[in-house]
């Protein structure tokens, strides 16, 4: 997710000799005068229009390497996009590598998968299901595997199974020096660390291999209440979630969904409270636990049940179509009883909140435990994630700042790399601690000495010349 902060960017030449690149690619190159340019570069996050100097629609890892080498030769910079769910307009002006054509997908019945950088979670979930396997995808299976995983990846099973990045076996990458490399805990361990939480610092991932978990079914979904019952339900949810075994991952969300096709009538045109739940243990036990919350108020819609893992998107019920929204987030150290009234005063019913969604995710469990190998994810000690999503023209960005100001007493000062790409000095310092920033800077110096890769503008930030940008 993006913070939609205006950014500065190094502008690549719009007059680079692209025919030279076309001659060595199996993929295609599109400049702004080409009708395919707009379609290929259009992001999911419509508030972040991409205006690259050219779009390179790659088909192979070698295409990516050729593009990076071309950029080096001609003094251009390179960004990367799969779906544009995490679009950052700081990629404007660069050569934009669009990875949709890197679509390889192999699920190994032994419990792991290899996917190309253009693959979204949905086909992985569907290919894994016949073997009773499940990947550690996020709240929506429409997000790209690589962008999600390189940012850590905190999904509906986070408290049971940890982060997506924790399950990575290997990356195939092209580094900023134009080299194709295999990255594992043993091969380029510095990059292996940087790519698990550090997003694309110094490398474009062309494929990733990761372990999955055995989970043919789970008990879960969401139970919806009228928002006027929110104080009671959230109060119960707060203590209930603190006692929840690690087999359960939960969040709540204040929704204000428009009356439009696809929105259940019970939820449309009003504010509701969703309690989301994903339970990996015995289904009867999951039902018993959730019944404790169902009993706290009249349920307006009950969509929690025993279901195949292929229905995991039901937990968060995120939108699928591209959205012109802003979606800032913060992390909290705690969420005591008094924080409920504080939150509802600014984001609850009768508050005048313009947000489509205000979500609080409960963390802890496996999420909080260190990965088997060093990584660049710095937020294991956060207790909650707080996210607001809304339309900018309705004042959602300014209102989100009001929410975060109200919750400042519990703000731990950090953000997930996935919910605030490090494309300016402020977000870089909120996404990473000093030690991790220093590691990422060292990795960039080693593998991208000319600063070719500008993935979210991160490279220049950690390299220390942000002030000059």
Compute the least distance from the CB of residue 1 to ligand FAD, in Å.
5
Nearer to ligand FAD, 65 or 204 (CB): 204
Q: Angle of helix 283-294 relative to helix 230-242, nearest 10 degrees?
A: 140
Of residues 440, 442, 417, 468, the one with CA closest to residue 201:
440
Helix (H) or strand (E) holding 205: strand 203-211
Nearer to ligand FAD, 152 or 348 (CB): 152
CB-count burial class (<10 Å; 0-12, 13-18, 19+) for 190: middle
Compute the least distance from the CB of residue 284 to ligand FAD, in Å.
27
Of residues 327, 355, 326, the one with CA closest to residue 415:
327
Contact residues toward ligand FAD (CB under 6 A) are 1, 43, 80-88, 99, 117, 138-140, 143-144, 146-148, 150-155, 199-200, 204-205, 318, 418, 455-456
Nearer to ligand FAD, 138 or 297 (CB): 138
Compute the least distance from the CB of residue 293 to ligand FAD, in Å.
21
Cα distances (Å, whole numbers) of residue 236 to 139, 223, 232, 301: 23, 14, 6, 18
The tokens describing 402, both together, are 């009001």
Compute the least distance from the CB of residue 15 to ligand FAD, in Å.
25
Compute the least distance from the CB of residue 297 to ligand FAD, in Å.
26
Compute the least distance from the CB of residue 341 to ligand FAD, in Å.
27
Nearer to ligand FAD, 67 or 351 (CB): 67
Nearer to ligand FAD, 57 or 299 (CB): 57
Cβ-closest position to ligand FAD: 147
Nearer to ligand FAD, 147 or 349 (CB): 147
Compute the least distance from the CB of residue 268 to ligand FAD, in Å.
19
SS (H, E, C) 62-129: HHHHHHHHHHHHHCCCEEEECCCCCCCHHHCCCEEEECCCCCCEEEECCCEEEEECCCEHHHHHHHHH
Compute the least distance from the CB of residue 316 to ligand FAD, in Å.
7
Side-chain-side CA neighbours of 298 within 13 Å: the count stands at 6
Nearer to ligand FAD, 45 or 227 (CB): 45
Distance of alpha carbon 335 from the chain centroid: 23
DSSP label of 53: S
Nearer to ligand FAD, 116 or 349 (CB): 116
Task: List strands edge to edge, sheet with 95-98.
Answer: 28-30, 54-57, 95-98, 78-81
Compute the least distance from the CB of residue 26 to ligand FAD, in Å.
17
Could you give the CA distance from residue 106 to residue 200 in angstroms, rounded to a whole number? 23
Nearer to ligand FAD, 85 or 196 (CB): 85
Compute the least distance from the CB of residue 402 to ligand FAD, in Å.
22
Of residues 103, 133, 139, 108, the one with CA closest to residue 120:
103
Q: Are 455 and 417 in contact (CB under 8 A)?
A: no
Compute the least distance from the CB of residue 295 to ligand FAD, in Å.
28
Of residues 93, 142, 158, 141, the one with CA closest to residue 364:
158
The number of residues making up the chain comes to 469
Nearer to ligand FAD, 139 or 355 (CB): 139
Could you give the CA distance from residue 88 to residue 1 in angstroms, rounded to a whole number? 9
Nearer to ligand FAD, 303 or 448 (CB): 448
Q: Are 410 and 334 in contact (CB under 8 A)?
A: yes
Could you give the CA distance from residue 171 to residue 301 in angstroms, rounded to a whole number? 42
């Amino acid at each position: 997710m993006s913070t939609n902060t205006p950014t500065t960017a190094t502008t690549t030449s719009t007059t680079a000799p692209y025919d030279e690149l076309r001659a060595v690619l199996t993929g295609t190159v599109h400049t702004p005068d080409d009708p395919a340019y707009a379609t290929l570069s259009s992001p999911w996050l419509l508030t972040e229009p991409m205006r690259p100097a050219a779009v390179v629609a790659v088909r192979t890892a070698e295409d990516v390497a050729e593009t990076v080498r071309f950029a080096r030769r001609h003094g251009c910079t390179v960004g990367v996009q799969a779906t544009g769910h995490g679009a950052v307009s700081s990629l404007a002006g660069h050569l934009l590598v669009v990875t949709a054509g890197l679509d390889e997908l192999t699920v190994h019945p032994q419990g792991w998968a290899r996917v190309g950088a253009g693959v979204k979670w949905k086909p992985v979930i569907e290919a894994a299901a016949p073997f009773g396997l499940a990947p550690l995808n996020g709240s929506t299976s429409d997000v790209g595997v690589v962008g999600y995983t390189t940012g850590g990846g905190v999904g509906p099973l986070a408290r049971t199974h940890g982060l997506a990045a924790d399950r990575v076996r290997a990356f195939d990458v092209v580094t900023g020096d134009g080299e194709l490399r295999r990255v594992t805990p043993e091969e380029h361990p510095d990059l292996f660390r940087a790519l698990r939480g550090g997003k694309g610092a110094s490398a474009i991932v062309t494929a990733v291999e990761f372990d999955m978990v055995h989970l043919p079914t789970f008990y879960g979904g969401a139970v919806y209440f009228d928002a006027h019952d929110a104080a009671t339900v959230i109060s119960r949810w707060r203590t209930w979630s603190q006692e929840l075994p690690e087999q359960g991952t939960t969040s709540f969300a204040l929704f204000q969904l428009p009356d439009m096709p696809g929105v259940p009538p019970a939820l449309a045109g009003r504010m509701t409270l969703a309690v989301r739940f994903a339970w990996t243990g015995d289904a009867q036990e999951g039902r018993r636990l959730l019944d404790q919350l169902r009993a706290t108020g009249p349920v307006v819609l009950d969509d929690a049940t025993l279901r195949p893992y292929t229905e995991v998107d039901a937990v968060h019920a995120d939108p699928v179509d591209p959205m012109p929204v802003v979606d800032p987030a913060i992390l909290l150290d705690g969420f005591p009883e008094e924080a409920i009234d504080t939150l509802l005063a600014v984001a609850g019913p009768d508050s005048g909140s313009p947000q489509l969604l205000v979500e609080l995710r409960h963390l802890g469990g496996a999420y909080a435990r260190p990965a088997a190998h060093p990584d660049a994810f710095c937020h294991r000690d956060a207790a909650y994630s707080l996210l607001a999503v809304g339309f900018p023209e309705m004042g959602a960005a300014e209102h989100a700042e009001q929410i975060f100001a109200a919750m400042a007493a519990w703000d731990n000062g950090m953000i997930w790399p996935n919910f605030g790409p490090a494309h300016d000095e402020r977000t870089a310092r909120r996404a990473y601690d000093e030690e991790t920033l220093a590691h990422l800077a060292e990795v960039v110096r080693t593998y991208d000495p000319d600063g070719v890769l500008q993935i979210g503008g991160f490279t220049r930030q950690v390299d220390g010349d942000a002030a000059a940008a």
